[in-house]
Structure 1
């Protein structure tokens, strides 16, 4: 289960080939061909507001960043650090089939170290890629992350003259949303009616502009009213790639304001 797959030089979720809190020097890693049916491929992103800092386990075995270079447990993942700790591209591998994915507060935490706060069954298929978002709001009363969203990442037919995008709505309290190109709500609609805790299919931008990486403006619109839900965001995307756009936070909460985030999913 604990092997490392690289799509490019950057990676997501470094997997340790050693036992928890035990450092192995000069570990040898298997080179895995993309889509090898011996494995399933996972990326996990924590978008749960108020989530404690956690690490992830599959069937009780540490799955996310088991050790740092110092030989101690890594800093873990929470709502604030999720983006920087999950860079573009890259998936960790597991064996296909039924598993239990859990999240536990890092052992070094002052409060509730090692407590399990997330638990969900997963059933990844051989050779397929998935992104798993932990969602909902963390409850200090129950000490649980209440929900998750599992998305199969299916690569679109990329074209070096086009850009592909998809929209994921993980904003607590959000209405159904449309993704519109431009800076006004009445601009060209790329994606329609994405409900909370859901993902759209891929949509193409056939004429994204001049240059290799043109800047495009996007705005999110309330699907029911047609009114602008956000102000426009100027995003630089490279042609020939597919990008995930997601909005996270808590509607009406100043501590977790709606935030648009993006990452490269395929190239």
Structure 2
């Protein structure tokens, strides 16, 4: 019986084996995984490698990401700014693992090419986001190196928000992350590849998912890099907010992103 483990929606589903009209249906068990269960380590991948081809991730040679195929041949995956899984975490066993990524076999260029080969060592019961960085090109066919960030869960309150900021703007300056309405710095002087501590927003605004405006300033000059960035965030959740792109590159200008880290 094949087991597929995901901490995306915590549930248990068992598809019973049956045989109808001569067709056998395979049993597939979805195992309930309790949050923080030390039997597992919890992983999320975010591709912030400009120019990245569409690829999928493998752990120890076994496909780990689950982009769907519509043709029976792997034809979907994760390119620049692609997040897997988009909500929650996928799970693996603690300890050392080889992480690779390969271009999907239906690509028109370099199909099947390995574009990442590295090692991670997640610890039991801990959560991680793995960011691919660098810049993919015809002369650098790699989506690495990777940045591994441990995701420690902050206290959550249904009337508040928790946010953190990570600077993934390649070649860019240190940044201040500021809430427009209050002028409060939610993160200060964050350098490339660094992540700020969690900050609680105690008055996010009315409604279940208020829209909040932010500005990203160059920490050295206090001049805005991006202004009036907006995001509708659900109360009671923790979000990672990030900037990606390549400094001075018009093809990959600074761009703002956010994803739910804990809920």
Range into which the TM-score falls when normalised by the shorter chain: 0.7 to 0.9
If the length of structure 2 is used for normalisation, what is the TM-score? Answer: 0.87
Structure 1 residue aligned with 2:14: none
Q: Is the 8 A contact 1:3 1:92 kept in 2?
A: no
Q: Once structures 1 and 2 are overlaid, which stretch shifts more, 244-253 or 70-79?
A: 70-79
> How far 1:110 moved relative to its partner?
2.3
Structure 2 residue aligned with 1:41: 42
If the length of structure 1 is used for normalisation, what is the TM-score? Answer: 0.86
The CA deviation string for residues 99-127 of structure 1, in whole angstroms up to 9 with x for no partner, is 11111111222222221111121000011
The CA deviation string for residues 66-112 of structure 1, in whole angstroms up to 9 with x for no partner, is 763643214111115x15x642x221111100111111111222222
Unaligned runs of 5+ in 2: 12-24
Corresponding residue SS for 1:208: coil
Corresponding residue SS for 2:34: coil
Q: Which has the larger radius of gyration?
A: 2
1:256 to 223, 241, 252: 252
Structure 2 residue aligned with 1:14: none
Q: Is the 8 A contact 2:10 2:34 kept in 1?
A: no
Distance in 1, matches of 2:233 and 2:144, equals 33
How many equivalent pairs are there?
A: 249
Distance in 1, matches of 2:204 and 2:110, equals 49
Q: In 2 relative to 1, CA 178–27 (structure 1 residues): closer, same or farther, beyond 3 Å? A: same
1:167 to 140, 156, 165: 165
Q: Is the 8 A contact 1:165 1:243 kept in 2?
A: yes
Matching of residues 19-38 of structure 1 within 5 Å: 25-38=26-39
Structure 1 residue aligned with 2:153: 155
Question: RMSD value over aligned CA atoms?
Answer: 2.3
Structure 1 residue aligned with 2:183: 187
Structure 2 residue aligned with 1:65: 66
Q: Is the 8 A contact 1:2 1:63 kept in 2?
A: no
Q: Is the 8 A contact 2:105 2:111 kept in 1?
A: yes
Structure 2 residue aligned with 1:21: none
